[in-house]
Amino acid sequence: MESQLQQSLSQPTYKAAIIASADIEAHFEHQQQSALNRGESDLAPKPNKQTIALIIDTAFWASLRKEEGRSPKISLAFLPPEQTSQPLIFEYPLALTADILTKLAPAVERAGIHLGVWLQNNELYIWGTAQIIPAFCFVLEVIEPGLLVVKHRRIDGFGKYVNVAVLKGDEIKIVDEESINLPDCPGMLNSLLGFTNNLSRNNAVNLHVQLAVSMRAHGHGGTLLIVPSDNDDWRKSILHPITYPVAPAFNTLSMLMAQKVDETDLTIWQEELNTQIELIGGLTAVDGATIINDKHELLAFGAKITRSPGHETVRQIMITEPIINTPAVIVPPSSEGGTRHFSAAQFVYDRHDTFALVASQDGRFTIFSWSPCDQIVLAHRVDTLLI
C-alpha cells in the first residue's frame, strides 16, 4: 500500500494546506499505530502529507465556487473502493479537481455520504461514493466557503467523527492530542478528542457530545446544566419558581440509554435516540437553562441561574482550548462571553459536582467544569471539535 501513496505530480497552491499537512499526517500516524498496538484491525490507509495537502487544496478552491448559486458542501474520504461495503463506483474514475467537486456537490451534500478518493498513476481521482468507512479513515469536510474540517471515524463507528484540524482561510487550528493529559480534563472533552476508553453506544459521555452537537446546530444559543441525581442542592442556584419545571422527570432518554440493544434493533434504537436528543437540544433554545441529571432525566428548562446564598461571585475562570500552541489563561468570567457564560460559570463555581454546556449564537461552545487541582472554574472551548 505504501507504494501507492507516492507523491502526485500536482502541487497545492493553498498555503494553509501545505503548512497543516505535516501535523495532520503525524496525527493519523500516531492514532493508527496506537490502534495497531491495541490489536485493532481493518484500519483505513494512512495518507502522506503530500496527499493530504492536495486533497485540502482542491477542496478549498472548490469551496469558493458556486453551482446554481449554492456553495458546495462536500465530504471526501481517502480510501480504495474495496475498503468499504456496498460502494457506488463510477464506470470511469474522475479527476480530483475543483470543477468536478463543484459539479458533484449537490448529489452528495447529505450527511453520511462521502466521495471516495484514491490514487492512480500518481494522481488523485474520485472513484465513487461511500457511506461505510473504516476506522481512522481520513475525511475532509467542506462546511462553507473557505471552512474545511479534517476528521476521522471513531474506532467503533458510533457517534460524532473526531476532528483533527480546522482550516478557515489562512487560519489553521490543529487539535492538540496532549490535551487529554491535562489535569481535570472532563470526560466529554476526552470523547471529543477520541480518547475515551469506553466508546460504547450507551456511554453517557457520548450522549453529552451528541447533545452538544444538537445545541450548537439550532443556532439560538443555549445552556444545558448536568446535575447529580442523588441530591437537589442545585436548586439553591436556580431562581424559583422555575419557569418550565418537568414533573415527573422526563425519562425517555434515560430508558433508551439503559437498553441493551442488539444489532437487529440498532437502527431503530439510534433513530429514537436521535429524536430524543433533538428534543432536549431544542429545549435549550428557550431563554434560560435546560437541566438534566446524570441519569439523563429532564428536570426543567427555561430556568434562571442565580448565585447561591452565602456564596461569593465567581471572579476568575481558566480558559482552555485543545488547540496546539494555545495555552490556558486565567481571566474574569465576563471576558468569556455575556450573561449566559457568566451564569454558567457561577453555577459551576457554586456547585462543584455539576457541568454546564453553553452554546453561543455565533457557534462558540464552552464546557464549564470545576477543577479540584487548580480550585477554579475551567472553561473548555470546544467549538473546533464540534464542527
Q: For the segment 295-328, what is each residue's pLDDT rounded down to a tens digit?
A: 999 999 999 999 998 899 999 999 999 899 888 8
Kindly report the pTM of this predicted structure. 0.83
Range of the domain at 168: 2-174
Domains held by the chain: number: 2
pLDDT > 70? residue 180? no
The mean-pLDDT minimum among 75-79, 127-131, 260-264, 322-326 falls in: 260-264
Q: Residue 292: what residue type? A: I
**d(C-alpha 363, C-alpha 188), whole Å:** 18
Whether 185 is covered by a domain: the verdict is no
- Tell me, yes or no, whether 117 and 23 share the same domain: yes
Q: Phi and psi for 32 in degrees, rounded to 5?
A: -70, -40
Q: In a 3-state reduction of DSSP, which class is residue 148? A: strand
Whether 179 is covered by a domain: the verdict is no
Q: In a 3-state reduction of DSSP, which class is residue 199? A: coil
Whether 189 is covered by a domain: the verdict is no
- Tell me, yes or no, whether 275 and 323 share the same domain: yes
- Tell me, yes or no, whether 262 and 113 share the same domain: no
Strands (E), the chain: 75-78, 88-95, 114-120, 123-130, 138-144, 147-152, 162-168, 171-174, 222-227, 244-250, 289-293, 298-303, 317-320, 329-331, 355-359, 365-371, 376-381
What integer pLDDT is reported at residue 38 of this predicted model? Answer: 84
Q: Residue 12: what residue type? A: P
- Tell me, yes or no, whether 168 and 249 share the same domain: no
- Tell me, yes or no, whether 231 and 342 share the same domain: yes
Query: What angle in degrees, to the nearest 10, is found between the helix axes of 49-63 and 15-37?
Result: 130
Q: Residue 304: what residue type? A: K
